[in-house]
Structure 1
Amino acid sequence: MRKAPESSDARCPGVVLLHGIARGSSSLRKLEQAIRAAGFATLNIDYASRTKQIGALADDIHPAIARFAERDAPLHFVAHSMGGLVARAYLAKHRPDRLGGVVMLGTPNGGSEVADLLSGSRLYRAFYGPAGLELTTAPRPDSLPTVDYSVGVIAGNRFIDPVAGIFVLPKPNDGRVSVQSAMLAGMADHIVVNASHTGLPRDGIAIAQTITFLREGHFWPFTHESKWLGSRAFDVMSAMVLTATRKRTLP
Structure 2
Amino acid sequence: MSERRHAAFTSDGVVLLHGISRTARSFRRMELALGDAGFATLNLDYDSRRKPLDALAEDIHSSLDPFARSLDGSVHFVCHSMGGLLARVYLARYRPARLGRVVMLGTPNGGSEIADRLKNLAAYRALFGPAGQQLVTRRDAATSALLPAIDYQAGIIAGNRSVYPITSIGLPRPHDGRVSVANTRLDGMADHIVIRTSHPWLVRNAEAIAQTIAFLKGGNFTKS
3-state secondary structure, aligned to 2:55:
helix
> How much has 1:122 moved relative to structure 2?
0.7
* Counterparts of 1:180 and 1:131, CA distance in 2: 21
Choose 1 or 2 for highest CA Rg: 1
User: Which whole-Å CA distance do the structure 2 matches of 1:153 and 1:112 have between them?
Assistant: 15
Tell me how far 1:8 sits from its aligned partner.
Answer: 2.9
Provide the residue aligned with 1:34 in structure 2. 33
| Map of 2:165 onto structure 1 | 162
Structure 2 residues without counterparts, runs of 5 or longer: none
User: Separation in 2 of the partners of 1:217 and 1:83?
Assistant: 20
SS at structure 1 position matched to 2:166? helix
Q: How many residues align?
A: 219
Describe the SS at the equivalent of 1:101.
strand
Aligned to 2:191: 189
Deviation of residue 127 (structure 1)? 1.1
Q: Does residue 1:74 correspond to 2:77, yes or no?
A: no
How much does 1:164 deviate? 3.3
In structure 2, the partner of 1:112 is 112
**In the alignment, what sits opposite 1:206?**
208
Q: Which residue does 1:128 correspond to in 2?
A: 128
Superposition RMSD in Å: 1.1
SS in 2 for 1:201: coil
* Percent of pairs with identical residues: 55
TM-superposition CA deviations, 1:127-148 (whole Å, max 9, x none) = 1100000011113202110100
Instruction: Trace 1:1-251 onto structure 2 (pairs within 5 A).
Output: 2-4=1-3, 6-9=4-7, 12-70=11-69, 71-142=71-142, 143=144, 144-165=147-168, 167-222=169-224
Amino acid at match of 2:66: R
Where does the alignment leave 5 or more consecutive residues of structure 1 unmatched? 223-251
1:210: Cα distance to partner?
0.1
SS class of match (2:211): helix
AA matched with 1:61:
I
**Aligned residue identity for 2:16:** L
Question: SS at the partner of 1:202?
Answer: coil
CA shift for structure 1 position 12: 2.2
How far apart are the structure 1 equivalents of 2:217 and 2:209? Answer: 13
Greater RCO (CA < 8 Å, at least 6 residues apart): 2
Deviation at 1:163, TM superposition (A): 2.3
